[in-house]
Amino acid sequence: MHAQAVDPATGRSLATWPASSPTDVDAALDTAVAAQAEWGARTPESRAAVLARASEVVRARASALALLLADEVGRPVREGRAELDAAIALLDYLARHAARHLVPERVSAEAPRAYARFEPRGVLFALLEGVTVYEDLAHAVALPLATGAGVVVRPESRAPASALAFVQVLEAAGVPAGLVGVVRLAPQEGTAWVADPRVRGVVARAHADTVRAINEASARHDVCTWTETPSNDALVVLADADVEDAVEAYVRGRFLAAGQGRRGVRRCITVAALAERMEHALAARVLAEVVGPPRDAGTTLGPVLARSVVERLALQVETSVAAGARRVTASRFPEGPGAWCPAMLLAGVQPGMPLFDERVEGPLAILTTARDDAHALELATATRDPVQLAVFARDEARAEELGLATSATAVAVNAVPGADPRLFAPQALRRLSRRRPVEIA
């Protein structure tokens, strides 16, 4: 079998890559296990120095890496550079702080000589899906490397060259050859390797069905996991909000990665008193998007990953319109064989419609009207998926209080929740390490 990389802007084939056979995966695991023995024996400070050099190599190669991403998954070059900046931020954070997060910690005050030591697990398996290729690789590879682990990674299948280029960055910085292996598998094939005794942990940043399968397989085989699925985040506009600020933040968050990213607000929920102003301002902002070739400097919105994304979005829109949602506006977009989709705005979206209840991928702004502030926050968290909230209001203290009273996993006031390494890296480093109790005599 072979995997084909296709330019989503043109539909043309970029390259054909052989799928990894069981023998290939077996060899990648053996090589990673051998390399990890030496890497895991290094001090955290020694590993941190390599990650610091990796950050510098990413900076030096950022232009070429961003172009690869534009060709393989349609991300505009400016977006690719921003994603690389996030990867650099994580590498820098790990270089500076990983060692202190892995020092032994006292178990309890009642046992002053009892400590927990954080040690390398061995080799982890990483399964990635989605267009945020470099962000996902940085999370799935750099974090385990900082703990002393090796990684065999199954990257997004449509971005094989981007994944290999990222691994080459790491090796150029001093990561031992083979410590990070790359395999090309279907997601279900990757799940099967969880049972391999050489796999001591699994990292998955993937679609919900894939993560569910990974978690089930890991539980059966008592394997540590660190998984993340796309959330159904919402931006809530309270009655005293600045409309222009809310609109700009929502459109930037919603159209990130053409609406296909793991992060980025999905729904915009406004109180009725501001609904008309929000709709008009959103319509103007949506029409200002420049949909075009991702390599063009002026492009703000590229193609989606595949025609199947366009078709699914069209079905969700048609079904929601039939249930009462309104098409407000749509931008121009290129004609041709690529996976093109206009930037769109639909208003009047309510619970019970696919655009409200389901995960929506694609450059579609979704506006829901609530009766008041309390109703807006209730609608924002009325989903079975994890929710992060962006709450916009002039009274920031009240907005924070209201947001924290909900079931949201994170709340940002007058901003969109981001991926600050300080919020996830300390916990991830310890979870991906083996915690071993020791007693000091």
The Cα–Cα gap between 436 and 293 comes to 52
Pairing state between β 105-108 and 111-119: antiparallel
pLDDT value for 41: 96
Task: Kindly give the residue spans of alpha helices, DSSP state H, lying in 42-142.
Answer: 44-73, 77-101, 133-137
Residues in the chain, total = 441
pLDDT at residue 109 in the model: 61
Q: Of 3.40.309.10, 1.10.10.60, 2.40.50.140, 3.30.390.10, which CATH number belongs to 234-413? A: 3.40.309.10
Bin 108: left if φ > 0, else alpha if -120 < ψ < 50, else beta: beta
From 249, 317, 237, 240, select the one nearest 278 (Cα to Cα): 237
**Could you give the residue ranges of the DSSP H alpha helices within 230-384?**
243-254, 275-287, 307-322, 354-357, 373-380
Give one DSSP letter per residue of 58-77, joined into a string.
HHHHHHHHHHHHHHHH---H
Residue 409, pLDDT score: 86
Residues of the chain with CATH 3.40.605.10: 2-230+421-439
Say whether 393 sits in a helix, a strand or coil: coil
| Residue ranges, the chain, pLDDT below 50 | none
Exposure string for 409-434, b = 16+ CB within 10 A, e = fewer: eebbbbebbeeebeeebbebbebbbb
Identify the three-state secondary structure at position 233: coil
Fold of 2-230+421-439: Aldehyde Dehydrogenase; Chain A, domain 1 (3.40.605)
Instruction: Give residue 384's pLDDT.
Output: 78
Note the pLDDT of residue 377.
96
Mean pLDDT, the chain, rounded, equals 92
Identity at 354, one-letter amino acid code: P
Name the DSSP class of 257: G
Q: Which of 179, 159, 153 is nearest to 54 (CA)?
A: 179
Sequence ranges of the chain with CATH classification 3.40.309.10: 234-413
Q: Name which of 256, 208, 278, 203 is nearest 363 in CA terms.
A: 256
